[in-house]
Amino acid sequence: MRIKPVVSLVDLTSNVNVAGAGGVELTPEQLYTGACLACHASGVANAPKLGDSEAWKVRMANGLDALVESAIAGKGAMPPNGGSAYSPEQIREVVEYILAESGM
């Protein structure tokens, strides 16, 4: 008998709620945990890790706006919006959070 997985990685990233219980706005850390942690904590598919300032410095070469647009459009293995239903403003917030946590 084969045991089926309960959840797949796609399910975790594509069905992320943009607001918490009761419509409460999520913090940038909660946004990161909801859509970014799965890849950016461990470096899956060559994703730059949270805290790796050198990797993020390279990605900031064209500025914050370009990095945010890249996250919105998707890049490499990362789907648009990191596979989330986040707004462009929330994507900017989570990118700024990642950069701050990476010493940028």
Q: What is the pTM of this model?
A: 0.77
CATH number of 26-101: 1.10.760.10
**DSSP symbols for 43-92:** TGGGPPPTT-HHHHHHHTTT-HHHHHHHHHH-BTTBPGGGGS---HHHHH
Vertex 61: Cα angle to 48 and 55 (nearest 5):
20
* pLDDT tens track, the chain, 104 positions: 566 554 444 444 444 445 555 567 899 999 999 999 999 999 999 999 999 999 999 999 999 999 999 999 999 999 999 999 999 999 999 999 999 999 99
The secondary structure element, H or E, covering residue 37 is helix 37-40
Domain limits, the chain: 26-101
